[in-house]
Amino acid sequence: MIDFDDIDDWEPKLAATLSQHLPNSVGLTLTTAAPEYVEDALDLIFDLSLRDAVIDATLGWIRSTNIAGYHGSRLADDEMASVRANGLIPLKAEARRHRLIRALSQHSDWRRVADQLDAAILAYGQGGAAGCRTAPGLAADHGRPGGFFR
């Protein structure tokens, strides 16, 4: 079973699967390039390899087992009813503005920063840096030496 919250368990397995499709220098190349976004790191990986082979190997690895999935347990009654009626839907910050306000308004600094919520949603939600993480965390494996794609 793959539990994506447990990178120490799945990372070596994925690295082993992909090692036959990537050059030994991929980790050093990613670290040296220090791409700004994960997408840039992926582009670099594809430049160093056969894109379709990497994708096929990754999909095969994912399909070879079960994946652990989690859902937040702090759902309001109306949110639970929505999950039952509509299933799980992709999270979109702008569609969850009311829930963000409810959660964030409990913070002691909320009054000072509340007027920045819409700008934050625009910057990090759809159309902003959505889904993008800076690549140094990827290349350095979240600060652990010798990590992903050694």
- For residue 28 the two structure tokens come to 């050093």
Residue 101: inside a domain: yes
Neighbours of 53 (CB within 10 A): 13
Is residue 85 in some structural domain? no
Token duo for residue 129: 């840096």
Domain that holds residue 13: 1-70+90-150
Is 52 within a domain?
A: yes
Domain count of the fold of the chain = 1
CB 139 within 8 A of CB 31: yes
Q: Is 38 left (phi over 0), alpha (psi -120 to 50) or beta?
A: alpha
For residue 45, the tally of other CB atoms under 10 A from its CB is: 20
Domain membership flag for residue 83? no
pTM strictly above 0.75:
no
Judged by DSSP in three states, 2 sits in strand
Task: Report, in angstroms and rounded to the nearest whole number, the Rg of the chain calculated over CA atoms.
Answer: 19
Instruction: Name the amino acid, one letter, at 135.
Output: A
Task: Answer yes or no: is 84 within a domain.
Answer: no
Contacts 24+ apart (CB under 8 A), 30-33: 30/135, 30/138, 30/139, 30/149, 31/139, 31/140, 33/139
Residue-by-residue pLDDT tens, the chain, 150 positions: 898 888 899 999 999 999 999 999 998 999 999 998 888 899 999 999 999 999 999 999 999 989 887 766 677 788 888 888 988 777 777 777 888 898 889 899 999 999 999 888 887 765 555 445 433 333 333 333 333 333
In a domain, 28, yes or no: yes
pLDDT tens-digit profile of 132-150?
543 333 333 333 333 333 3
